[in-house]
Amino acid sequence: MGSATRVALVEAKARLASLGSRVDLATGEELFAAGRIIGDSTHLLGALSDPGVDVPIKVALVRQLFAPGYGPTTVELLEGIASSRWSSQTDLLAGIEEIGIRAVAGSAPTSAAIDSELFEFGRAITSDAKLELALGSKLGSTDQKRGLVERLLGGRASEQTVAIARQLVTQPRGRRIGELIRYASTIVADQSGSAVATVTTAIPLGSAQLQRLETVLASQYGRRVQLNEVIDASVIGGIRIQIGDDVIDGSVATRINDLRLQLAG
């Protein structure tokens, strides 16, 4: 991520926060749709991401395309995104998607556990090779993938989770389904002021152990931490923790592998 994109994201998140209750689920879904429209048009994407194009021209283009059919809050967010400078065309699309995810997550009732629902959705997919192929294959139709998401999550997850999952399979932009879900979960957690930690062990941890781990990680990262537990016999023993790009690996499997490398050297 380039420095221009970092600044643009800060501006977009601040703008989203300033709109408060004006932002709802429809806002997020409209942002998703707008991102797909922009991503499908080489000329439009090029014009909105080109730093050489004057901001008033970009804003006028956004209004012309989206004001007739989209809500004013969505259009205001899109105008702001188009007015900022992005490091690349890919970053612009990612920025629209991230603000859409944040808008959707922010519209959920406090009882909704979107990050946990996304985690369980991802676990169900990655544990079934046929399902993973159906959702991740470039050959599958978008309508079929969206329909599959509806069948898997409809009535089992919040409408916010369903909306985010539909977006991920509709516009993957070359990303694998597991990567997409981890990315979305991180954004959802950050929007709620927390972080997601994936904890991998050979056997399940007890509730007291999980509570202690959650407390330690929250203290270390300065925010509430949502633990997602993965049981994987291949780690043999110990524990592996991933929060964003940070990995804390104390698993026996890793120590054995390190020892093998040392002996081989």
- How many CB atoms within 10 Å of residue 113? 17
Going by pLDDT thresholds of 50, 70 and 90, the confidence category of residue 36 is very high
Q: What is the DSSP string of the chain?
A: --HHHHHHHHHHHHHHHHHGGG--HHHHHHHHHHHHHHHT-HHHHHHHH-TTS-HHHHHHHHHHHHTTTS-HHHHHHHHHHHHS--SSHHHHHHHHHHHHHHHHHHTS-TT--HHHHHHHHHHHHHT-HHHHHHHH-TTS-HHHHHHHHHHHHTTTS-HHHHHHHHHHHH--TT--HHHHHHHHHHHHHHHTTEEEEEEEESSPPPHHHHHHHHHHHHHHHTSEEEEEEEE-GGG-SSEEEEETTEEEE--HHHHHHHHHHHHH-
Q: What CA–CA distances, in Å, run from 148 to 28, 39, 105, 174, 188?
A: 21, 23, 21, 19, 22
At 231, give phi and psi (nearest 5°): -100, 120
Structure confidence by residue, pLDDT tens digits, 41-60: 999 999 999 999 999 999 99
> Are the C-beta atoms of 196 and 189 separated by less than 8 Å?
yes
Residue 197's nearest CA partner among 182, 212, 208 is: 182
pTM of the model: 0.84
Burial of 134 (0-12, 13-18, 19+ CB in 10 A): middle
The single-letter code of the amino acid at 43 is H
Quickly state the pLDDT bin for 226 (edges 50, 70, 90). confident
Token pair 């929007």 is at which residue? 191
Answer whether residue 76 shows pLDDT above 70: yes
Highest mean pLDDT among 100-104, 120-124, 206-210: 100-104
pLDDT tens by residue, 145-197: 999 999 999 888 999 999 999 999 999 988 888 888 888 988 998 898 888 88
Report the C-alpha gap between 98 and 32 in whole angstroms.
9
Q: Which two tokens stand for residue 5?
A: 């994109």
**Among positive and negative, which fits the CA dihedral 131, 133, 136, 139?**
negative
**If you average pLDDT over residues 1-5, what whole number do you get?**
86
DSSP states of 171-205 as a string? --TT--HHHHHHHHHHHHHHHTTEEEEEEEESSPP
- Average the pLDDT over 187-216 and give the result: 88
- Amino acid at position 76, single letter: E
